[in-house]
Amino acid sequence: MTITFDKLPSNVEELKAMPIASLNEPEYGAALFVAAMMHYSVNKDETFGMLDFLNGPYEVTQYQKQFIADRMAEGDHVVRSFFAGTSPENDYTPSMPYTIVTERGFDQETDGRMRILLTSSGADTKRFITMRHKPSTNQWFVEEQMILGMIREPKSADPWA
């Protein structure tokens, strides 16, 4: 599924106003996670507010906050790498409008969970976000994310470029 953003959310109210904030497809929450993480370097508290919404009945834990802080310490190029048009050569600069291509890891859900695969232009393998279905609301929430791992350096930061 291809998901396009004309504008990325900068707070939970803007995120909730987006049509895909219905979260009635697992790809929606995965794409919104990436979109929300783009705001991390601007305002961590607003980003965590968006992530709280995407986590459903669970708030972001201190452990998760520290994990994200560790992964984002070198900048947001890892997050930018999930948008179309990015590459190490262009310092992971997304093309406009912002576009994310998702792929279901399984054809069906398993125990109310589904992995959504995302392609990073700086990694050799796809990364995933595990989404969990809440039947009472028919929404999919982020249960686990494995997208913030290391990728190839942006050209401007590569001493060998």
How many Å apart are CA 161 and CA 147, to the nearest integer?
A: 25
pTM of the model: 0.95
For residue 75, the model assigns a pLDDT of: 86
Q: Give 50 or 157, the one with higher predicted confidence.
A: 50
Rounded to 10°, the helix 44-54/62-72 angle is 120
How many Å apart are CA 97 and CA 152, to the nearest integer?
A: 24
pLDDT tens for 41-82 read 999 999 999 999 999 999 999 999 999 999 999 889 999 999
Does 109 have pLDDT greater than 90?
no
pLDDT tens for 140-155 read 999 999 999 999 999 9
Pair 123, 109: CB distance under 8 Å: no
pLDDT (average), residues 86-102: 97
